[in-house]
Amino acid sequence: MLSRPHFVRIFVAVLVFAAMLLAGCGGSGQGASSGPVTLTWFMWSGSPQEVQAWQHDASLVTQKYPNIHIKFETADFNNYWTKLETEAASGSLPDIVSLQSLRTAGFSSALRPLDSYVQQSKFDLSAFDPGIIKGLTSQGQLRALPYDFGPLVMFYNKDLFQKYHVPLPSANWTYADFLQDAQQLTHGSDYGFVASSYPDAWLPFALANGAKYLTSDGKLDLTNPQLADAFQNYAKLVYQYHVAPTISVPQATQTPSLWQAGHIAMVVDGPWDLINDKQTVNFKFGIVPLPRQQRPVTLTAGSGFGISATTQHPDDAW
């Protein structure tokens, strides 16, 4: 089990290292500019602290390559993709584009393949998990370099665990452990967990219990009995065990914010919220893998940085 400071340091180090790798991949002999160059980088963000972190990463490039200036542009997550589609259609994409792996296929034609750069720079892709490399590959060509892996994990409020004398969860805890903890942590206005109908939140529980959401030929199947039963078991956390509050439909995508208020012990979230939690919450917290059932399962959807097909400075962007 990782403590909050240890886990935060690990993820900050990983993000900064990825940014420095991206900044340090030049010098491949492909014609990078020697004079001043301004590259526009478009990235989603959801808070001032996220913007500050990305701007810091951009400054690392200029520290290593004084002739390159990064102009950082941002939008919230939903508006980012709307704007990116518009810019891709009009041929006005920025030089450097941030890409979620789940959307690689939809934007692959707008991004320059990176395989030749990887080969000429002798860039070591084995440093990354094969899954995220595959996620950022389309039509057999790498479209972006990863900067994170994005696994869903369980965030927990250490102060509530200590308040109700519940042992902190371990890395190999089970669903039975999770349910027992949630029951012991539910008192008055305090709840053990916050459940959401958003697929990212409940699907890992279903998959860990052996359910499937795809047929053997890859078609979506959300009504098969095993998946329906798994969802019912998840919903029981609210209507039978009462360890999770009833929330509105709009709140279903905002469960991390509800957890940040301090009256919910556990929530499913991703490492991208670490920087926000560090600045927002007034309690100690920790992170563990999602509880095991038949097998340990999580969902991942990492992201990366790509070079637009229309940039005038591809070598500098690399």
294 is a domain residue: no
pLDDT at 31: 62
> Do 56 and 22 share a structural domain?
yes
> Do 167 and 194 share a structural domain?
yes
Query: Which range is least confidently modeled, 2-6, 227-231, 280-284?
Result: 2-6
Mean pLDDT of the 118-136 span: 93
Give pTM, 2 decimals. 0.82
190 is a domain residue: yes
pLDDT at 249: 78
List, for residues 248-278, the tens digit of each pLDDT value: 877 877 888 899 999 999 999 999 899 999 9
Mean pLDDT of the 182-186 span: 98
> Do 78 and 110 share a structural domain?
yes
> Do 246 and 267 share a structural domain?
yes
CATH code, domain with 75:
3.40.190.10
The confidence band for 138, taking pLDDT boundaries of 50, 70 and 90, is very high
Query: How far, CA to CA in Å, does 130 sit from each of 25, 35, 102, 219?
Result: 20, 37, 15, 24
Q: What percent of the chain has pLDDT over 70?
A: 90
- The two beta strands, 96-100 and 37-44, are parallel
HSE, side-chain direction, 13 A CA sphere, residue 72: 17
Total number of domains in the chain? 2
162 is a domain residue: yes
Mean pLDDT of the 112-126 span: 95
Q: Token pair for residue 144?
A: 């972006």
| Comparison of pLDDT for 10 and 147, the residue scoring more | 147
- 28, 317 Cβ separation under 8 angstroms: no
Which residue's structure tokens are 């019912």?
Answer: 232
The confidence band for 115, taking pLDDT boundaries of 50, 70 and 90, is very high
> Do 146 and 21 share a structural domain?
yes
Residue 244 and residue 266: Cα distance in Å, rounded? 10
Mean pLDDT of the 54-60 span: 95
> Do 267 and 167 share a structural domain?
yes
Neighbours of 255 (CB within 10 A): 22
Average model confidence (pLDDT) across the chain:
88
Q: Token pair for residue 202?
A: 């409940």
> Do 275 and 198 share a structural domain?
yes
> Do 229 and 214 share a structural domain?
yes
> Do 158 and 123 share a structural domain?
no
For residue 18, pLDDT over 50 is answered with: no
Range of the domain at 96: 4-150+302-317
293 is a domain residue: no
297 is a domain residue: no
> Do 230 and 273 share a structural domain?
yes
> Do 268 and 134 share a structural domain?
no
171 is a domain residue: yes
Query: For the chain, where are the alpha helices, taking DSSP H only?
Result: 4-23, 48-64, 77-90, 104-107, 115-121, 130-135, 158-163, 175-184, 199-208, 225-239, 255-260, 274-280, 314-317
> Do 173 and 59 share a structural domain?
no
32 is a domain residue: yes
78 is a domain residue: yes
Q: What is the 3-state secondary structure (H, E, C) of 279-298?
A: HHCCCCEEEECCCECCCCCC
What is the distance of C-alpha 192 from the center of its chain? 24
Give the alpha-carbon dihedral of 295, 299, 305, 308, to 10 degrees: 120
